[in-house]
Amino acid sequence: MSRTPLELQLAHELDEARKLLETMGDELATDIEVVMAHGVALQSVDIVGQIMGHIAAVVRATERGEAVEDIGMHDLKMKLLPTLKDACDKAA
């Protein structure tokens, strides 16, 4: 199955936003006072970036089921698998 131009652009935009978050997180992580005061928030920034990267990969994939299976974040994968199964059942 091929991706539409919109899907490809959405994946690209998610990747660009992820890169911005990563850059921001890296910059903030160089300040020890910020890390000490906001360490958990910085970890959340990293997690959000990972989620965005995985979603971009699924949106971009021609085989979305395989892309979901390849997600390394267990919680995200478990959220997406039932939705993927529902979509496959409706298509059948």
pLDDT of residue 88: 65
Assigned token pair, 4: 């539409």
What pLDDT score does 92 carry? 60
Q: What confidence score (pLDDT) does residue 85 get?
A: 75
Which pLDDT tens digit goes with each residue over 23-49?
999 999 999 999 999 999 999 999 999
Give the residues of the chain that fall short of pLDDT 50: none
- CA distances in angstroms from 39 to 22, 25, 75, listed in the order given: 15, 10, 21
In this prediction the pTM is: 0.86
Instruction: Evaluate the CA torsion angle 83, 88, 91, 92 in order and state its sign.
Output: negative
**Exposed (0-12), middle (13-18) or buried (19+): which is 54, by Cβ within 10 Å?**
buried
